[in-house]
């Protein structure tokens, strides 16, 4: 990445052009000039006074926004349109859910919300890239060997129990036993069948409570990690322990109910090179989950990489304290969980 050295000049030569009622107020050339004047006998408010008051209350957030916007827009020129489109889409969604007034209350204005989310999207991109930079080749190889599989084509039959929060313990036990008995019945019919696959598909149409797949013989299609929701993780795990043409003979339980599955076919796992991007992203997300201080460290390191210099000593101290406090707060929170 091309290095770019930037110095954050807090005041320097301050130029303010104020326009109102068709009149142009003279440009300020130094900090001692008045921003606001009164009648004779009342002190004016200088640019320096305004700056010191704003610095006391708003400087850190403002300087972080200015620094990161400059750095990230320079670092990710090809990502800016996507980041902005995503921010605008999120604001539209929030307006649809909560109403425009509530969104304005959250962000100050619609455009302010879009700008906040736009910067957040770019920051998240930088944080993920930083985490990716920490991944080693050994980690990539180990993850690939343990977690990357070829697709498996799976059919399933879902048997629900009908248990609800209001179901008594006695009725819950009865309903669960009835559902398990149905699973046993399905497996017995498969055991006796000559054409296992054809029989499974007929049984899916007859027994399955999954309205989305039953008429298609219970087909889930070719699935892999992340293809379906986490509700199906146990199904995928069980399918990987079968061979092509085999069906499950032990109870598979998910949050949806009980399942019988049939593994129709499978494909070879993709090569390491073809899987590299997905592996690195998964490992990076794992690192961010395990050590959330990386979210702070990533942006701090990026600012240093771009030669960040905060020339105002008060703001520089605020920044150092902010980084230290953020890391300490995250560490405390993680240790208590």
Calpha distance 250→77 (Å, rounded): 54
126 and 169 assigned to the same domain: no
255 and 292 assigned to the same domain: no
Chain mean pLDDT for the chain = 90
pLDDT surpassing 80 at residue 17: no
Domain membership of residue 187 (yes or no) is: yes
DSSP summary character for residue 230 = G
Calpha distance 175→160 (Å, rounded): 9
Domain membership of residue 144 (yes or no) is: no
Calpha distance 55→214 (Å, rounded): 65
pLDDT surpassing 70 at residue 18: no
User: Tell me, what's the pLDDT at 1?
Assistant: 42
**Which range of residues forms the domain containing residue 95?**
58-135+278-336
Domain membership of residue 226 (yes or no) is: yes
Averaged pLDDT for residues 281-290: 96
Q: Could you tell me which residues are beta bridge partners of residue 263?
A: 154
Calpha distance 231→220 (Å, rounded): 13
Domain membership of residue 72 (yes or no) is: yes
Strand order in the sheet with 252-254: 219-223, 152-159, 257-266, 252-254
222 and 328 assigned to the same domain: no
Final residue in a domain of this structure, among 243, 266, 289: 266
**CATH number of the domain residue 177 falls in:** 3.10.50.40
Question: For residue 156, what is the enclosing H or E element?
Answer: strand 152-159
Calpha distance 152→240 (Å, rounded): 7
189 and 239 assigned to the same domain: yes
Tell me the pLDDT tens digit for each residue of 192-218. Answer: 999 999 999 999 999 999 999 999 999
* Helix/strand/coil for 41: coil
Calpha distance 301→292 (Å, rounded): 15
* Helix/strand/coil for 265: strand
Nearest to 204 by CA among 228, 181, 223, 186: 186
Q: Which residue has the tokens 């400059």?
A: 70
CA atoms within 13 A on the CB side of 47: 16
Domain membership of residue 218 (yes or no) is: yes
How far from chain centre, in Å, is Cα 126? Answer: 13
Residue 137 dihedral angles phi and psi, to the nearest 5°: -65, -35
CB 204 within 8 A of CB 157: yes
The domain total for the chain is 2
| Most confidently predicted of 12-26, 58-72, 294-308 | 294-308
Tell me the pLDDT tens digit for each residue of 242-267. Answer: 999 999 999 999 999 999 999 999 99
* Helix/strand/coil for 158: strand
Domain membership of residue 21 (yes or no) is: no
165 and 217 assigned to the same domain: yes
Secondary structure (DSSP) of 166-208: T--HHHHHHHHHHHHHHHHHHHHHHHH-SSHHHHHHHHHHHH-
Tell me the pLDDT tens digit for each residue of 84-126. Answer: 999 999 999 999 999 999 999 999 999 999 999 999 999 999 9
pLDDT surpassing 60 at residue 6: no
195 and 286 assigned to the same domain: no
173 and 261 assigned to the same domain: yes
Domain membership of residue 146 (yes or no) is: no
Structure tokens, 249: 């003979």
CA–CA distances in Å: residue 79 to residues 5, 37, 123? 21, 46, 12
User: Tell me, what's the pLDDT at 29?
Assistant: 64
Nearest to 232 by CA among 257, 251, 215: 257
Calpha distance 55→68 (Å, rounded): 18
How far from chain centre, in Å, is Cα 223? Answer: 23
Domain membership of residue 205 (yes or no) is: yes
DSSP summary character for residue 247 = B
Calpha distance 210→256 (Å, rounded): 9
CA–CA distances in Å: residue 208 to residues 80, 205, 238, 243, 292? 47, 6, 18, 23, 43
Nearest to 327 by CA among 303, 301, 291, 302: 291
Percent of the chain with pLDDT over 90: 79
129 and 200 assigned to the same domain: no
Between strands 23-24 and 19-20, the pairing is: antiparallel
């Amino acid at each position: 990445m091309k290095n770019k050295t930037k110095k954050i000049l807090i005041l320097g030569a301050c130029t303010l052009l104020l326009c109102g009622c068709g009149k142009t107020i003279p440009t300020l050339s130094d900090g001692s000039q008045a921003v606001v004047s009164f009648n004779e006998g009342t002190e004016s408010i200088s640019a320096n006074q305004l700056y010191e008051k704003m610095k006391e209350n708003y400087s850190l957030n403002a300087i972080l926004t200015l620094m990161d916007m400059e750095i990230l827009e320079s670092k990710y020129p090809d990502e800016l349109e996507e980041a902005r489109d995503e921010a605008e889409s999120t604001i539209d969604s929030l307006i649809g859910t909560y109403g425009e007034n509530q969104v304005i209350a959250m962000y100050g204005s619609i455009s302010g919300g879009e700008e906040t989310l736009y910067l957040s999207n770019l920051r998240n991109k930088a944080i993920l890239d930083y985490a990716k930079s920490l991944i080693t080749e050994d980690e990539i190889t180990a993850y690939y060997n343990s977690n990357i599989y070829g697709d498996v084509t799976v059919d399933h039959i879902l048997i629900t129990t009908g248990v609800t929060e209001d179901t008594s313990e006695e009725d819950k036990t009865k309903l669960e036993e009835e559902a398990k008995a149905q699973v046993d019945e399905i497996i017995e019919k498969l055991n006796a069948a000559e054409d296992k696959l054809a029989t499974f598909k007929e049984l899916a149409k007859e027994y399955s409570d999954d309205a989305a797949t039953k008429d298609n013989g219970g087909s889930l299609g070719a699935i892999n990690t992340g293809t379906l929701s986490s509700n199906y993780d146990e199904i995928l795990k069980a399918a990987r322990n079968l061979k092509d043409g085999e069906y499950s003979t032990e109870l598979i339980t998910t949050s949806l109910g009980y399942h019988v599955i049939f593994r129709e076919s499978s494909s070879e796992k993709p090569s390491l090179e073809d899987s590299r991007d997905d592996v690195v992203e998964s490992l990076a997300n794992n690192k961010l989950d395990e050590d959330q201080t990386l979210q702070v460290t990533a942006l701090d390191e990026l600012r240093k990489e771009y030669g960040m210099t905060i020339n105002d000593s008060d703001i520089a101290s605020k920044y150092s304290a902010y980084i230290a406090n953020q890391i300490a707060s995250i560490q405390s929170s993680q240790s208590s969980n």
